[in-house]
Chain A
Amino acid sequence: MPSTSIDIIRASVFSTYAWLKNNKWLFFSMLIWPYLMTFLILALGMVYGSLETYRERLGISNPVLYILASSGIVMSSLMIVDVVATSALYHRWLGTLPYLLLTPTKTYKVLILEPVPSAILSSTMSMLAILPGAVFFEGLLGAGKLFLILLVVYLGMLPLIGLSVIIASLTLVLREETNIASFLTPLILLLSGVFYPIQVLPTILQGMSRIFPTLYVVQAAKLTATYTIPEIKALLGLISALIILTLIYNGTASLALGTSERMVKKSGVI
């Protein structure tokens, strides 16, 4: 019997669950990370000025919640890129890659679907981690806002998966054990405009940041964190930007994956 997409996703959900169950400390560190980050940034900020000046500079009513949410977003974006882009490399290193490819279905299906559940799970986890913080500052409204941000994060995940698959294809074909994704992580941190406005960056980097989905997700978070009811029009603008990026990245990704599959099976790097 051929394997279906659902089979692959179910298996992957199971291995992610079993992995977390056997590595509880990692689960814990995922939950606590955004708080540590926020604490660090606020503490640094306090050295230079009060919470008030921070509020004015960023033009945000609740800087603590904003930083919490942004840390969560960046963390979840990093997780998606990390999981999806390095998944093929990771499986090659584990020696599980040939057995994944022996699944009776199209190879590209396995390569795309296998990492997705753990990417979704870990990014959701890192967003949910900040739920107590959101409720503490803004009560139920805070929780609602967070939910809205989570939806945007999911939308932002689509182009990120495409981008990561392109990187994964390149890494497989290049054969070197260099991990291209490791270049991407600092780039995402730099270009997402989380911890400072991107206007402070050189023009060329500002331009580059526009092709990174994280920027729009962070801006949407900012909108949501700033106003009680976020401006629908602005939010829609950001969402359409994400959709356009999805089409571009995922289109390219499906081409890249087909080519790299053929190259990999010819060169014998599996």
Chain B
Amino acid sequence: MLVNAIEAKGLVKNYVTWDRRGFFKRKKRIVKALKGVSFNVIRGEVFGLLGPNGAGKTTTVKIITTLLLPDEGKATVMGYDVVSEAEKVREVIGVTLSVEKGFFWKLTGRENLKYFGMLRGLKGRELDRRVEEVLELVGLKELGASDKLYEEYSLGMKARLALARALLHDPPILILDEPTIGLDPMSARTIRELLVKLAREEDKTVLITTHNMFEAELICDHVAIINDGRIVAYGTIGELKRRAADRLAVEMIIAAPHTILGDLEARISKLIGIRELGLEPLEEGRARLRIVVKPGEEEVIIAKSIEAFYSNGIKVYQVRVHEPTLEDVFILLTKGSK
């Protein structure tokens, strides 16, 4: 009996892109998306591939779902090789990529599911039964959305339908690329609860990618943190948190329009001489700054930051010091490693 549902070993992927330089001129550029990614997903668990934008999550997902060929390395799903046994792999996986599209706009949710069920060889009563089952499971029935045209769906409904399609052929493995991104809290919760239930009760293996720490903390048994094409940490949530056990987290709520956040992050880290910080947008033009520091450093860092903010005309609303959360571990591992 296989222990690992998914195994990835030394995956490397380079993209070739062409930068435009004027009307005819173009310059070739190599994007190193994956620089040797290895991880294992144990059968029956919820596994989180966690990383910031551009880290290589989608690229990894595309390789293990047979949609993209790796340049180097090897990956297997239920023991099947994703390159040489791609058709076998496709039989055992249910997949969602970007949840805001991927269906016919002019067909209803139910018709769309029927189409994809038929593609997978379901027919007759069996097809109808499965379609009704998954519509029920993801809560689209309850929302009265089964017979609405896809173009009338909200993002939450689209994400639910995407998950329904992944479940249609009852695959043992689900591979979901940011399944809750941008969703209303209600839909996100339904989906998270369903994923946990599928893993616990139906022994399905679930791989999700996310940049949402909170989500990973809620549902994942194991997490691998990917940054800049490399896995920088692997473990349970508890194990990862322990990595930052000797650190403290400083949290500040400041007034900063969302458009300047990227710029601001670089400037602050220069001013206070610390790289392990992260800025995330909040509501009403506010943002949350997290800085990971060694115990004893916090007072100086806070004083320096407040000074830096005031001299730049940025208001500080709140300052807090606490034990590191998974988000702080994430900042420590992704920012500190550069």
Give the interface of A toward B (CB within 8 A): 1-4, 7-8, 10-11, 14-15, 18-19, 22-23, 94-96, 98-106, 110, 262, 265-268, 270
> Which residues of B are found within 8 Å of A102, using beta-carbon distances?
65-67, 90, 93, 95
What residues on A are CB-neighbors of B98 within 8 Å? 95
Contact A106 B107 (CB under 8 A): no
Are A4 and B121 interface neighbours, CB within 8 A? Answer: yes
Q: Given known contacts A96-B104, A98-B102, A270-B68, is B115 in contact with A1 (CB within 8 Å)? A: no
Asked if B116 contacts A94 (CB within 8 A), the reply is no
Given A98-B67, A103-B120, A106-B87, decide whether A11 and B16 contact each other with a Cβ distance below 8 A.
Answer: no
Contacts of A104 in B (CB 8 A): 87-88, 90-91, 120
Q: Name A18's contact: one of B68, B107, B117 (CB within 8 Å).
A: B107
A residues less than 8 Å from B120 (CB atoms): 1, 3, 7, 103-104
The answer to whether residues A14 and B68 also contact, given A98-B102, A99-B102, A103-B120 and a CB cut-off of 8 A, is no
B69: interface (CB < 8 Å): yes
**For B62, B101, B103, B120, which residue has the most chain A Cβ atoms within 10 angstroms?**
B120
Q: Does B303 contact A (CB under 8 A)?
A: no
Measured between alpha carbons, how far is A1 from B62 in the docked complex, in Å?
A: 22
Residue numbers of B with Cβ under 8 A of A are 13, 15-16, 59, 62, 65-69, 87-88, 90-91, 93, 95, 97-98, 100-108, 111, 114-121, 123, 149, 165
Bound-state CA distance A137–B16 (Å) is: 61
Contact status B103-A3, CB under 8 Å? no
Cβ contact of B62, chosen from A14, A18, A19, A270, cutoff 8 A: A270
A257 to chain B, nearest CB (A): 16
A173 to B325, CA, bound (A): 45
B87 touches A105 (CB 8 A): yes
**Within the assembled complex, what's the spacing in Å between the Cα atoms of A160 and B142?**
46
Bound CA span A27–B16, Å:
43
Are B68's CB and A268's CB within 8 A? yes
- A95-B101 CB under 8 A given contacts A14-B115, A22-B107, A265-B69: yes
Contacts of B65 in A (CB 8 A): 98, 102
The 28 listed contacts between A and B (C-beta, < 8 Å) are A1-B120, A1-B121, A3-B121, A7-B123, A14-B114, A18-B107, A19-B106, A19-B107, A94-B101, A95-B98, A98-B67, A98-B97, A98-B102, A99-B95, A99-B165, A100-B119, A102-B67, A103-B119, A103-B120, A104-B87, A104-B88, A104-B120, A105-B87, A265-B67, A266-B69, A267-B15, A268-B13, A268-B68
What 10 new A-B contacts, CB under 8 Å, besides A11-B116, A103-B120, A104-B90?
Answer: A3-B121, A14-B111, A18-B108, A22-B108, A23-B106, A96-B102, A98-B67, A98-B95, A99-B116, A262-B69
Chain B contacts for A11, CB-based, 8 A: 115-119
Q: How far is the CB of B151 from chain A (nearest CB, A)?
A: 10
Q: Report the minimal beta-carbon distance from B22 to chain A, rounded to whole angstroms.
A: 17
Q: Give the residues in chain A near B105, CB-CB below 8 Å.
A: 94
In the complex, what distance in Å separates the CA atom of A99 from the CA atom of B65?
Answer: 10
Which 10 residue pairs across A and B have the least CB separation, nearest first?
A95-B101, A11-B118, A95-B102, A104-B90, A104-B91, A11-B119, A18-B111, A7-B121, A15-B115, A265-B69
Cα-based distance from A98 to B162 in the complex (angstroms): 12
Chain A: minimal CB distance from B131 (Å): 12
Of the residues A1, A23, A99, contact of B91 by C-beta under 8 Å: A1
B232 to chain A minimum Cβ distance, whole angstroms, is 23
Residues of B within 8 Å of A96, CB to CB, are 102-104
Q: Give complex CA distance A7, B16 in Å.
A: 36
Find chain A residues with CB under 8 A from B165 CB.
Answer: 99
Residue of B nearest to A95 (CB): B101
Set of chain A residues within 8 Å of B93, measured between Cβ atoms: 102
Contacts of A266 in B (CB 8 A): 68-69
A103 to B115 CA separation, bound complex (whole angstroms): 12
Bound state CA distance, A270 and B97, in angstroms? 11
A2 CB to nearest chain B CB (Å) = 6
Closest residue to A105 on the B side, CB-wise? B87
Distance of A149 Cα from B16 Cα, bound (Å): 49
A22:B149 contact, CB within 8 angstroms: yes
What residues of B have a CB within 8 angstroms of the CB of A15 in the complex? 104, 107, 111, 115
Taking the closest CB of chain B, its distance from the CB of A252, in whole angstroms, is 24
Report whether B104 and A19 are in contact in the complex, using a CB–CB cutoff of 8 Å. yes
Residue from A14, A101, A262 in contact with B67 in the complex, judged by beta carbons closer than 8 Å: A101
Residues of B within 8 A of A14 (CB): 111, 114-115, 118
A101 to B97, CA, bound (A): 13
Task: Give Cα distance in the complex from A12 to B255, angstroms.
Answer: 53
Distance in Å from the Cβ of B104 to the closest Cβ of chain A?
6
- B8 to chain A minimum Cβ distance, whole angstroms, is 17
Residues from chain B with a CB closer than 8 A to the CB of A99 are 95, 102, 116, 165
Min Cβ gap A43→B in Å is: 34
Shortest distance between the CB of A121 and any CB in chain B (Å): 15
Report Cα–Cα, A55/B114, bound state, in Å. 51
| A128 CA / B56 CA spacing, docked (Å) | 52
Which residues from chain A contact B88 at a C-beta distance below 8 Å?
104
Q: Which residues of A contact B15 (CB under 8 A)?
A: 267-268
